Amino acid sequence: MDFALTKEQDFLRTSARNYLGKRRPIATNIVAAEQNSPNWLGEQWHELCELGWLDPDLELLDQVILAEETAAELLPGLLFSTVALSWSTLTAAGKLAELTTGLTRPAFAWAESERGTGLRSGKPIATALAADGTVTGRKVLVPDAMWADSFLVLADGRGGPSIVRVAASNALVRALSTSDHTRPLGTVEFERAPSTPLLTGAEVGNVLSDTELRAFVIAAAESLGIASRALRIGVEHARDRTQFGRPIGSYQGVSHALVDSHAHLELARSLTYWAATAVRVGDPLARAACAAAKSSASTAALSACENAIQVCGGLGMTWEHPLHRLYKRARWLGSFLVGESDLLALIAAEIV
C-alpha cells in the first residue's frame, strides 16, 4: 500500500511538536505531574480544547499523530483516557461536543478485580445499577482517575450492561502507587451514587468493541512516541559522547543497537498507521491490525528505552534523566488492557 500523511496531518504534527516543546516540554510535565496542581490541569485542558485536539471532526489517524507527540513529552492529563477510552461512549451517546468546550473531563471506569482489565471480558460485571439509577461497586486501575470530574461507568442493570455517568463528587477516588506519575491510576468506589444514563443494551457491546480498537491504536501511538524519544536521546548521546578520541556512536556495539531500535520503530509505525486506517474504513482485519500494532509498538518502545539506557550508561540510570520515566510508561503501555500473550492469541483467532 502506498501510504503517506496528508499536508494537513504533517502540519498537525509540526504544530503539536512546537506547542509541546515551548509550553509542555518533558521536564515541565514531570514536575507538574508530581505536584498535581489543579490549576495547571485546568489550564492545560482548556489549551488543548482551543488547539482543536478534542475536535469531533478529527480522524483516528490525526489522534494517533497527537498521541505520538504528547507521549514523547510525557504529557500528563486526560487526553489519553479521553481519546482512547471515553471517545466511543460519548460519540454513541451524542455527547462528544461537550469535550470541545472543555466543560467536562471524563474518565472511563470499566476494570474490576474479578473481571479483569479486558474491555470485552466475558466475566460478570460486579458494579450494579439499581432501578432508581444509583450505582454501587468498585472500579480498579482507572487511568487519570484523580484528574477527572466525572466517570463513565460500566455497570450491570436489569436490562443488562449499561454505561452511565457519575460525577466525581459522588465517588470515592483513591490514588494508587505507580511508578509513572505522569499516568496515574486510581480505584473508584461508588455507594448508591446517582448517575445519568448514557447507553444500554446492545449499544454497550458495540461501544466496548469500538473502544477496544481505539485503545489499542492510541496505546500503540503512545508507544511510538516513547520509542522515538528514547531513540533520539540515545542517538544524541552517541554522537556527542566521545571515548578514545571518537564519538561512541562510531563503535558497532553502540550503533547497531540504535539501528535495531530504529528498525523496530518504523515497523511498528507502519502497523499503527495501517490499524488506524483499517478502523476508519471498517476493514475486516481491523481488530487483528490493532492488536498487531499494540504488540509491535510496545515491543519497540521497550527495546528503544533499554537500548538507550545502555548507550547512555550511568547517565541513563540517574533519577534526573528522563529515560527511566519513558521506560516506565513503555512498561505500562505494554500491559494496558491485555498483555502480549493475549494480543498474539487475539491476532491468531482473527486471521485463522
- pLDDT one-digit tens code per residue, 284-319: 999 999 999 999 999 999 999 999 999 999 888 898
pLDDT of residue 4: 85
| Lowest-confidence segment of 19-23, 40-44, 213-217, 292-296 by average pLDDT | 40-44
Q: Kindly indicate the confidence band of residue 43, based on its pLDDT and cuts at 50, 70 and 90.
A: confident
Beta bridge partners of 200: 162
pLDDT of residue 170: 98
pLDDT of residue 84: 96
Q: Kindly indicate the confidence band of residue 88, based on its pLDDT and cuts at 50, 70 and 90.
A: very high
pLDDT of residue 20: 97
Strand runs labelled E in the chain: 106-109, 128-129, 134-143, 150-157, 160-167, 172-175, 185-194, 196-200, 242-243, 246-247
pLDDT above 70: residue 33: yes
Task: Provide the sign of the torsion angle of the four alpha carbons 109, 115, 119, 125, taken in this order.
Answer: negative
Angle between helices 202-240 and 286-312 (to 10 degrees): 30
Which pTM was predicted?
Answer: 0.95
pLDDT of residue 36: 75
Mean pLDDT, range 50-77, rounded to an integer: 96
What percentage of the chain has pLDDT greater than the value 70? 99
**Under 8 Å between Cβ of 87 and 79:** no
Chain-centroid distance of CA 254 in Å reads: 30
pLDDT of residue 49: 92
Rounded Cα gap, residues 122 and 120, in angstroms: 6
Q: Which residue's C-alpha cell is 489519553?
A: 80
pLDDT of residue 38: 67
Cell of 78: 486526560
* Cα R_g (the chain), whole angstroms: 20
Query: What residues contact residue 25 under an 8 Å CB cut-off, 6+ apart?
Result: 73
pLDDT of residue 136: 98
Cell of 295: 504488540
Mean pLDDT, range 319-339, rounded to an integer: 94
Pick from 266, 271, 339: which is nearest to 303 by CA? 266
Give whole-number Cα distances, 267 to 155, 301, 302, in Å.
Answer: 38, 12, 14
pLDDT above 90: residue 92: yes
Which domains are seen in the chain, by residue range? 7-101 (1.10.540), 106-200 (2.40.110.10), 205-351 (1.20.140.10)
Beta bridge partners of 186: 142, 175
Rounded Cα gap, residues 219 and 336, in angstroms: 8
**Under 8 Å between Cβ of 237 and 79:** no
| Lowest-confidence segment of 1-5, 191-195, 308-312 by average pLDDT | 1-5
146-158 pLDDT, tens digit per residue, is 999 999 999 999 8
Chain-centroid distance of CA 44 in Å reads: 17
Q: Supply the DSSP symbol for 313.
A: G
Pick from 239, 243, 221, 220: which is nearest to 231 by CA? 239
Pick from 33, 21, 24, 13: which is nearest to 328 by CA? 33
Q: Kindly indicate the confidence band of residue 54, based on its pLDDT and cuts at 50, 70 and 90.
A: very high
DSSP helix/strand/coil, 77: coil
| Lowest-confidence segment of 11-15, 26-30, 266-270 by average pLDDT | 26-30
| Most confident region among 49-53, 102-106, 220-224 by mean pLDDT | 220-224
Beta bridge partners of 167: 150
Strands 242-243 and 172-175: unpaired
pLDDT of residue 1: 57
Mean pLDDT, range 223-236, rounded to an integer: 98
pLDDT of residue 108: 98
